[in-house]
C-alpha cells in the first residue's frame, strides 16, 4: 500500500507521519503492557504491533528513494553504505539500551522512555529536514 501512497504524496509527509506515529505506538504499548494478562491485553498488543509496523514502513519504504535522489551513479554505493552503517550504529546503541532498561525498570517504563526518544527524533527530523518546493 505504501508505494501507491507514495504515488500520491511526497516522501516527506509520509515519513514524518510514520515518525510521529512511532512514539504514539510506544505510548500505546506502555498502556497495553501495563494491563493485566488477558485476551484484551493480547488484542491490544497485536494492534500496537500493527501500528508500530505500519509506522516503521512509512519511514523505511521511502528511504531508498531519498538516498537515490541524494546521490548520483558514482556516489550511490557509498551513500547506501553510509546509511546502512549509520542505521546499524543506532541499532547498536538503542537495542541494548532497550533491553537493559526493560530489565531494570520494566517494560512500561521503557516504552515511555523510548517514546520520548522517538518524539525527539521525529521533532528533530521535522525541524531539520529542508523543504524543497
pLDDT of residue 133 exceeding 60, the answer is no
Mean pLDDT of all residues belonging to the chain: 94
7 grid coordinates: 504515488
Q: Note the pLDDT tens digit of each residue in 49-83.
A: 999 999 999 999 999 998 999 899 999 999 999 99
Distance set, CA 110 to CA 5, 11, 105, 118, 126 (Å): 32, 30, 7, 12, 24
Q: Report DSSP state, residue 36.
A: P
Q: Is the pLDDT of residue 32 over 80?
A: yes
pTM: 0.85
What integer is the mean pLDDT of 16-42? Answer: 94
What does the alpha-carbon distance between residue 50 and residue 45 come to, in Å, rounded to a whole number? Answer: 9
Amino acid at each position: 500500500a505504501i508505494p501507491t501512497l507514495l504515488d500520491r504524496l511526497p516522501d516527506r509527509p509520509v515519513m514524518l507521519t510514520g515518525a510521529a506515529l512511532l512514539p504514539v505506538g510506544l505510548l500505546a504499548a506502555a498502556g497495553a503492557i501495563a494491563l493485566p494478562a488477558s485476551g484484551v491485553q493480547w488484542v491490544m498488543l497485536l494492534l500496537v504491533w500493527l501500528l508500530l509496523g505500519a509506522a516503521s514502513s512509512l519511514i523505511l519504504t521511502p528511504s531508498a528513494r531519498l538516498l537515490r535522489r541524494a546521490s548520483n551513479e558514482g556516489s550511490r554505493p557509498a551513500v547506501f553504505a553510509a546509511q546502512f552503517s549509520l542505521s546499524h550504529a543506532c541499532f547498536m546503541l538503542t537495542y541494548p539500551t532497550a533491553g537493559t532498561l526493560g530489565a531494570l525498570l520494566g517494560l512500561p517504563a521503557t516504552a515511555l522512555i523510548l517514546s520520548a526518544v522517538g518524539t525527539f527524533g521525529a521533532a528533530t527530523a521535522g525541524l531539520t529536514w529542508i523543504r524543497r518546493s
